[in-house]
Chain A
Amino acid sequence: MLAFEQILNGLQFGIMLFLLSAGLTLVFGIMGLLNLAQGSLYMIGAYAAAYVGAHTGSFLFGGLAGIGAAAAVGMATEYLVLRRLYARSHLDQVLATYGLVLFFNEGITILFGRQPLYVDIPASLNGAIQLASGLSYSIYRLVIIGVGSLVGIGLYVLIGHTRLGMLVRAGATHRDMLRAMGVRIRMIYTVVFGLGALLAGLAGVMAGPLSAVQIGMGEQILILTFVVVIIGGLGSVRGAVLGAILVGVVDTLTRVYLPGLLKTMMSTANADAIGAGLSSMGVYLLMALVLLWRPRGLLAGSL
């Protein structure tokens, strides 16, 4: 039962990662833009949700505000800054979006101060639910799994079975043809970027009650997000789903079981030291293995 609980933990963590990496991979796949500021949009979502939530007393309003703020800031950033970068090299993009990270961190400091904000789980989602005998699991975490799954299905439908999705897919592969047919591709870029920002904001909103809403909270999770995107294949949303769940589960299980496993082979002190080291490398080892097997990621080349 403990093992099942840990797999659920891994799944839930993976879904948080998916929400962040979906936007990142969409933006890379379609515009070829490497965006380090994705973590900042996550932070903006969390801050807006915390602020509005505290002032209205409603987690729902807070959540809507968080998603809205992240999408709005995302689209504004795309319009004002990022569209100048599409033609530039990835290094320029990394530098510019890193600059945005600093800008947003300072901006939040000026607006909200250094004091981390307080957000609680809404009362209706607090507590645990009995899933089986000996296995109870936090309702809020189950809701995260549910929301994330819905988003995944929604993205699948949106990209695979709608007109907008068709344009988006065409924009990724046949940019010039699309332009020649009179489609305003810049508009599509802004919308896609806004969608990615919205998902990052959603991740921020849902992370608020679980973790510290503070400056720089996005950078902490950003590295794992990139690992997800690389494992899944740059630009592939389905890859992001697969990568996120793999990373979430592998990270959780190595953290939990590796030290114990090593203890059966060596002295406790050594096992603790090596286990802690190895388990923090777990996802990076996974990434290395995947890249050895498939150098462009698991599902590269398919949106």
Chain B
Amino acid sequence: MMCRSIVLSAFVSALFAHTAFAQSEVKIGMVTTLSGPAGYLGADVRDGFQLAVDEESGKLGGVPVRVLVEDDGLKPGQGKEIADRFLGSEKVKILTGFIFSNVLAAVAPDAFDAGAFVISPNAGPSNFAGKDCNKLYFVTSWQNDAVFEAAGQNATNLGKKRAYVLAPNYQAGKDAIAGFKRFFKGDIVGETYTRLDQTDFGPEMSQIRAANPDAVFQFHPGGLGITFIKQYVQAGLENIPMFVGGSGLDRRILTAIGPAAEGVNITSQWNSDFDNPASRAFVSAFKAKYNRIPDSYASQGYDTARLLASALKAVHGDLSDTEAFRQALLRADFVSVRGEFRFAHNQHPIEDLYALRVVKDADGKLDIKTVGKVLSNHTDAYGAACKL
């Protein structure tokens, strides 16, 4: 490995010998979740990121890069171990890939101590958006609450008055419900905290039926969500519109749920049918390379790489001046697949959020379609506490 990287950098520097500034490659450490049931999330981010690197044949913003990818297995300890190796022996100055907030929270402090940048393509826990914000920390997806806040707004926009809310009894579940409530103007007629190891939602379905709401908001990641939505329809509740945040229903989950998912309202910052040139180009390139329609995770990986490309270009691959690189990142001088992309002062995106819905297309296949915009120039509720 060492040998190969020496040969590679020798080759790369030979290639660039004629330019005024001979560049050495920039290492990017990707700590992401590739194994377990949630492993496809990390694989999507990695594939989206790699696509951007491949489009420039091994460079980002004209700067040769080497992407080191390791699987954190959704274990904070393992993520920390990998990150320490990246920061120590590999001398990596840019860490990315984080899917889950708990892994990110374990890794970020070490990275800050080592003066390395953390660019999260997915996880956006509230503390790092607020009082613990850091100059070295950027999020390209959203603060975690955003898609749930949008779900609340979406339910309000659709004239819903009585919502029943459910989420697992852990931090992300509580955040999701808090986010929904922040933007939902009607009454909450029931609030249930489920368990992360729950396999049967029969009792919850009976409770929902008894409360007779006109909307149900639920956040159940991964397999829990598959189980929940199946049992929801089996319990005959399909006439009560369901609202979920982006990750609650992606294409993989849709395939596993099948027809029961029809009509579910999703809110997300991106969908594969977005009609802007960058998005169209990304979707067709991704399909050509990986032979599947990208979920939003892939777009987040891609955007993260494009953001890094813009900043690496601005500093000519020289990361020694941390502040210059930070300013270059803050400018976000790239064309995002979401359309316009700007950072707020807490280095989280100012974003537009959209309502999507699961509908049957012309040949009866289920698809996720964009319905319209729900929130414009949305910023998170925590930025005020961030002194940057």
Main secondary structure of the interface of B (DSSP, over half): helix
Which one of A214, A224, A255 lies within 8 Å of B223 (CB-CB)?
A214
Residues of A199-255 at the interface with B, using a CB-CB cut-off of 8 Å, are 207, 209-217, 220-221, 223-224, 252, 255
Query: Given known contacts A10-B203, A116-B252, A276-B193, is B235 in contact with A212 (CB within 8 Å)?
Result: no
- Report the minimal beta-carbon distance from A38 to chain B, rounded to whole angstroms: 15
- Report the minimal beta-carbon distance from B206 to chain A, rounded to whole angstroms: 5
CB of A59 within 8 Å of the partner chain: no
B234 touches A116 (CB 8 A): no
Which one of A127, A212, A223, A224 lies within 8 Å of B227 (CB-CB)?
A212
CB of B195 within 8 Å of the partner chain: yes
CB of A9 within 8 Å of the partner chain: yes
- Report the minimal beta-carbon distance from B360 to chain A, rounded to whole angstroms: 16
Residues of A90-105 at the interface with B, using a CB-CB cut-off of 8 Å, are none
A5 touches B206 (CB 8 A): yes
A34 to B48, CA, bound (A): 44
Count A/B pairs, Cβ under 8 Å.
Answer: 106
Please choose the segment from B63-71, B255-263, B267-275, B316-324 that sits at the chain A interface, where 4 or more of its residues have CB less than 8 A away: B255-263
CB of B290 within 8 Å of the partner chain: no
B226 touches A116 (CB 8 A): yes
CB of A128 within 8 Å of the partner chain: yes
CB of A120 within 8 Å of the partner chain: yes
A16 touches B200 (CB 8 A): yes
- Report the minimal beta-carbon distance from B249 to chain A, rounded to whole angstroms: 13
B169 touches A276 (CB 8 A): yes
CB of B236 within 8 Å of the partner chain: yes
A114 to B35, CA, bound (A): 9
Which one of B203, B224, B253, B259 lies within 8 Å of A6 (CB-CB)?
B203
B207 touches A115 (CB 8 A): no
B256 touches A255 (CB 8 A): no
B199 touches A215 (CB 8 A): no
Residues of A250-287 at the interface with B, using a CB-CB cut-off of 8 Å, are 252, 255-256, 259, 272, 276-277, 280
B169 touches A277 (CB 8 A): yes
Residues of A132-149 at the interface with B, using a CB-CB cut-off of 8 Å, are 136, 138, 140-141
- Report the minimal beta-carbon distance from A102 to chain B, rounded to whole angstroms: 11
CB of B59 within 8 Å of the partner chain: no
CB of A117 within 8 Å of the partner chain: yes
Interface readout for B274-293 with A: 1 if CB under 8 Å, 0 if not?
00000000000000000000
A217 to B198, CA, bound (A): 10
Query: By CB atoms of chain A within 10 A, which of B193, B195, B203 has the most?
Result: B203
A5 to B39, CA, bound (A): 37
B235 touches A217 (CB 8 A): no
Interface readout for B158-197 with A: 1 if CB under 8 Å, 0 if not?
0000000000010000000000000000000001110101
Residues of A1-17 at the interface with B, using a CB-CB cut-off of 8 Å, are 2, 5-6, 9-10, 12-13, 16
B202 touches A220 (CB 8 A): no
Which one of A5, A210, A221 lies within 8 Å of B231 (CB-CB)?
A210
Which one of B199, B202, B234 lies within 8 Å of A221 (CB-CB)?
B199
Residues of B contacting A9 in the complex (Cβ-Cβ under 8 angstroms): 200, 202-203, 206
Which one of A13, A121, A215, A280 lies within 8 Å of B169 (CB-CB)?
A280
A16 to B227, CA, bound (A): 15
Main secondary structure of the interface of A (DSSP, over half): helix
- Report the minimal beta-carbon distance from A162 to chain B, rounded to whole angstroms: 33
Interface readout for B225-260 with A: 1 if CB under 8 Å, 0 if not?
011001100111000000000000000110111111
Residues of A contacting B257 in the complex (Cβ-Cβ under 8 angstroms): 118
A220 touches B199 (CB 8 A): yes
Residues of B contacting A2 in the complex (Cβ-Cβ under 8 angstroms): 206, 210
- Report the minimal beta-carbon distance from B208 to chain A, rounded to whole angstroms: 11
Interface readout for B19-55 with A: 1 if CB under 8 Å, 0 if not?
0000000000000000011011001000000000000
Query: By CB atoms of chain B within 10 A, which of A9, A126, A128 has the most?
Result: A9
B200 touches A211 (CB 8 A): yes
A141 touches B202 (CB 8 A): yes
A276 to B234, CA, bound (A): 25
B252 touches A280 (CB 8 A): no
Residues of B contacting A120 in the complex (Cβ-Cβ under 8 angstroms): 258-260
A114 touches B39 (CB 8 A): yes
B206 touches A212 (CB 8 A): no
Residues of A contacting B227 in the complex (Cβ-Cβ under 8 angstroms): 210-212
A211 touches B255 (CB 8 A): no
A280 to B169, CA, bound (A): 9
Which one of A12, A140, A212, A215 lies within 8 Å of B226 (CB-CB)?
A212
Which one of A10, A16, A210, A213 lies within 8 Å of B234 (CB-CB)?
A210
Residues of A contacting B199 in the complex (Cβ-Cβ under 8 angstroms): 16, 207, 210-211, 217, 220-221
Residues of A contacting B222 in the complex (Cβ-Cβ under 8 angstroms): 212, 214
A101 to B254, CA, bound (A): 27
Which one of B43, B192, B256 lies within 8 Å of A118 (CB-CB)?
B256
B203 touches A138 (CB 8 A): no
A211 touches B191 (CB 8 A): no
Closest residue of chain A to B40, judged by CB?
A114
A214 to B236, CA, bound (A): 24
Residues of A contacting B195 in the complex (Cβ-Cβ under 8 angstroms): 280
A12 to B205, CA, bound (A): 14
Task: Spell out B's residues near A (CB within 8 Å).
Answer: 36-37, 39-40, 43, 169, 191-193, 195, 197-200, 202-204, 206-207, 210, 222-224, 226-227, 230-231, 234-236, 252-253, 255-260
A-B contact pairs, 18 of them (CB 8 A): A9-B202, A114-B37, A114-B40, A116-B226, A117-B256, A118-B257, A212-B222, A212-B226, A212-B230, A213-B256, A215-B36, A220-B197, A220-B198, A220-B199, A223-B197, A224-B197, A256-B203, A276-B193
